[in-house]
Amino acid sequence: MSESVPPSDIRIRKKSRLLRLEYLDGTCHELPFELLRVYSPSAEVRGHGSGLGTLQTGKRDVLISDAAMVGNYAVKLTFSDGHDSGIFSWSYLREMGDQQEKFWQDYLERLERENGSRDPQDVRRF
């Protein structure tokens, strides 16, 4: 099955804060809203060049407030903190699901290195 194949079913589970993706091959991924937000494929998050991009902090309680299909290749997610510029391709969502543990670990390690926090009340204001 091609990595760019769209999920056969997509569910936004607000109470559990999970985006559930089911595929025809039987694979099912549940991606936390926080993980999707901090790894948004937007220039705001990834930056405009090479490198790690901007560390996203204080996103533990973020929600998905809207989702819109983008052609046949992606979904645009809008988050409760106002972020709405990330377009998540099917292949990127599949990669996030397949490698969810690695994404989480990398994020947690970066938070620790940069003194960041997942909690909104712990985010420093400059």
Reference 121, options 33, 57, 64, 36; nearest CA is 57
What confidence score (pLDDT) does residue 43 get?
A: 84
68 confidence band (pLDDT: 50, 70, 90): very high
Reference 43, options 78, 83, 72, 70; nearest CA is 83
Q: Averaged over 21-46, what is the pLDDT? A: 95
114: helix, coil or strand?
A: coil
What confidence score (pLDDT) does residue 47 get?
A: 75
Q: Averaged over 21-45, what is the pLDDT? A: 95
Residue 32 pLDDT exceeds 70: yes
Token pair listed for 82: 């106002």
d(CA 54, CA 72): 29
What is the share, in percent, of the chain residues with pLDDT greater than 70?
90
Residue 3 pLDDT exceeds 70: no
What CATH architecture applies to the domain 9-114?
2-Layer Sandwich (3.30)
What confidence score (pLDDT) does residue 105 get?
A: 98
